[in-house]
Amino acid sequence: MTSSIRDQRAMAHSLAYVVSQRQYPEFQEWWPVGAPFLAMMSEAILGQWRLLRPSAEDIAAVQATVEEYISLVYKRETRPGLAASFAASTELETIQSGEFDALSYGFFHSAFNALATRKSGLELVAARRRFAEQVGSLFFGQLVEILDIDLPASLNDRRDFAAVDSALSQVGRFLREQGYLQSHFGFRFDVNTSHAGDKIDQSEQDFMRKLTAGGTAYALYEMGHPVILPSAVYLYQTVGEAQHHSSRTIEELFARVGCDAWETDDFDPSNYPSDRVVELWKVRRRSTDL
């Protein structure tokens, strides 16, 4: 999660309040989102959501949330049955960027609230994060099949690194072509930045040296206008956790090669172009691989 999201920690505010405090004019003009992406995301989200919200009435509640979201964020009316269509993977070719942004908010908001009736405190925080991770895992599993992604069993040498780097490029190309990212994807292992008062100067070659030595390596994830940026901010401000579809997808990619990978909580991306969301990642090999 980027600092631009985590710095805005006004928890438990209403959606109307947080939207009044931060608008996204650059997202008001909607763009097409690919039906293949939407079908995969529907399967991933609904596969987890239905475990928490099995009733048909729950779809109606999500529709109401989607209508409120589109009205407040985009000043538009919502098409009838939008949530039900997404849940059934029908008419996906008609869904545009702002509608998917609202659907993502609606289903995750519903799931996070359902979890709040079962858990509290740190257990609730962990459960919400786990829900997002499971959605990312399901989505990446579909990507592996559709894109024929070939990953090594572990990340041990330059050949393994090249395969992981190629897989990341495949994922990024798909996300751009499908309209999840409007303008840019970059996942880089040459990192020259600062974090928590420390200077990070890591070359691409340093990444593998740090990793194989059992240390922490870094990466930068750059996104150009991710379609769910508004809802990620608003979810975090109203509920305390966000969905971060592509980040959870990449997290799963690294998990499949025996690594824990995550974005830092407190990275300041202010030195990067304003049209990009930038995350600083840490990557470590799991202890069983050391």
pLDDT digits (tens, 9 = 90+) for 69-114: 999 999 999 999 999 999 999 999 999 999 999 999 999 999 999 9
With bands split at pLDDT 50, 70 and 90, how would you rate the model's confidence at 6? very low
Q: What is the pLDDT of residue 265?
A: 86
Q: Is the pLDDT assigned to residue 282 strictly greater than 70? A: yes
Contact 68, 18 (CB under 8 A): no
Percent of the chain residues topping a pLDDT of 70: 94
pLDDT in tens, 15-69: 999 999 999 999 999 999 999 999 999 999 999 999 999 888 899 999 999 999 9
Instruction: State the virtual CA torsion across 234, 235, 237, 240 in degrees, nearest 10.
Output: -170
**Position 8 pLDDT exceeds 70:** no
**Long-range CB contact pairs, 197-201, < 8 A, 24+:** 200/280
Phi, psi of 218 (to 5 degrees): -120, 160
Report the percentage of the chain scoring pLDDT > 90.
87
The DSSP symbol for 157 reads: S
The confidence score (pLDDT) of residue 106 equals 98
What are the distances in angstroms from CA 120 to CA 50, 125, 127? 21, 8, 9
Q: What is the pLDDT of residue 1?
A: 42
What are the CA-CA distances from residue 68 to residues 87, 116, 152 (Å)?
18, 21, 45
Q: How far is CA 252 from the centre of its chain?
A: 11
pLDDT, tens digit, 9 for 90 and up, residues 115-136:
999 999 999 999 999 999 999 9
Q: What is the mean pLDDT of residues 1-20?
A: 64
> What is the count of structural domains for the chain?
1
Rounded to whole angstroms, what are the CA distances from 284 to 94, 177, 217, 258, 289?
Answer: 41, 30, 7, 9, 10
Domain that holds residue 119: 3-289
**Predicted model pTM:** 0.92
Q: What is the mean pLDDT of the chain?
A: 93
